[in-house]
Amino acid sequence: MRKGRAMEQDLQSVMRRLALEAGAAIMAVYQRPDLEIRSKADASPVTEADEAADRIISAGLRAAFPEIALVTEEQAASHAVSAERFFIVDPLDGTKEFIQRRGDFTVNIALVEAGVPVQGVVYAPARERMFYTCADGSAVEEQGPFHPVQSGPLSVLSMRAPDPEALVVVASKSHRDAATDAYIARYNVADMRSAGSSLKFCLLAAGEADFYPRLGRTMEWDTAAGHAVLRAAGGEVLDFDTHAPLRYGKPGYANPFFIARHPEIALVKG
């Protein structure tokens, strides 16, 4: 069994490659004039692109790391998995953005250990942006064009020091509501940014925003990869009510409301 740095390097390489392959399959569907859209049991939309990306990622992870459990949004049977160490995948996060052709959709692959997302890749194929964790514990953004094997130029990610009198806040494009706006209004905000899918975590990690509150339903596969990238860049994700670190592997894989932030930002009670 591979251990230590070699294992982490393998994880980084395989997760990056599978994200690129899944992204290519997604873009092949995205560029068609018509999309076939169906509804899942929970009434959320699903497309051929979600399913194609899921097949690529699931097959690749199971072939490369058969000893590690896999949880993926598109395979309901996997939602019963309970493991200390597991992959968690959202093959197409932001399906609504995809359907509306707004570009802010991502491929998300993460590895969770003891409740913590320790490795992750977030790839936004329509935006040509890719963020991931590295074997040395850092997080990077890779510059395209992307090669399946060789990495391009890398920029190390680090959250910027926030100005508490002039915060930059990022919020959801598709799930913004009055409660979120009311909570944001309790801070000194200089600018608001809107982004879809897990890109919001990556904007924080890249120093393009300071704070992301989410007062709405999410699942662990929506957040784990972006959380891993943000964590490696010096950020944190906290339970909205308790301010305890957000944990993974919860029964049912549902998240509470949460706050993603630079640790120096003082929180107000919700």
CA 119 from chain center: how many Å? 11
Q: State yes or no: pLDDT of 1 exceeds 50.
A: no
Classify burial at 237, counting beta carbons within 10 Å of its beta carbon; exposed 0-12, middle 13-18, buried 19 or more.
buried
What one-character DSSP code corresponds to residue 254?
B
Classify burial at 117, counting beta carbons within 10 Å of its beta carbon; exposed 0-12, middle 13-18, buried 19 or more.
buried
The architecture (CATH level 2) of 167-261 comes to 3-Layer(aba) Sandwich (3.40)
Residue from 129, 109, 141, 142 nearest 18 by CA: 109
Q: How far apart are CA 61 and CA 72, in angstroms?
A: 11
Q: What is the pLDDT of residue 43?
A: 65
Q: How far apart are CA 56 and CA 171, in angstroms?
A: 30
Whether domain 4-156 has CATH 3.30.540.10: yes
**172-201 residue pLDDT tens:** 766 678 899 999 999 999 999 988 889 999
Residue from 232, 239, 234, 235 nearest 258 by CA: 239
Q: How far apart are CA 178 and CA 180, in angstroms?
A: 5
The domain limits of the chain are 4-156, 167-261
Q: How far apart are CA 88 and CA 38, in angstroms?
A: 23
Q: How confident is the model at residue 9 (pLDDT cuts 50, 70, 90)?
A: confident
Q: How far apart are CA 256 and CA 248, in angstroms?
A: 11
Q: How far apart are CA 8 and CA 66, in angstroms?
A: 15
Q: What is the pLDDT of residue 6?
A: 63
Residue from 48, 60, 51 nearest 21 by CA: 60
- 46 close to 38: Cβ distance less than 8 angstroms: yes
**120-134 residue pLDDT tens:** 999 999 999 999 999
**40 three-class SS:** coil
CA 186 from chain center: how many Å? 26
Q: What is the pLDDT of residue 38?
A: 82
pTM of the model: 0.94
**51-63 residue pLDDT tens:** 999 999 999 999 9
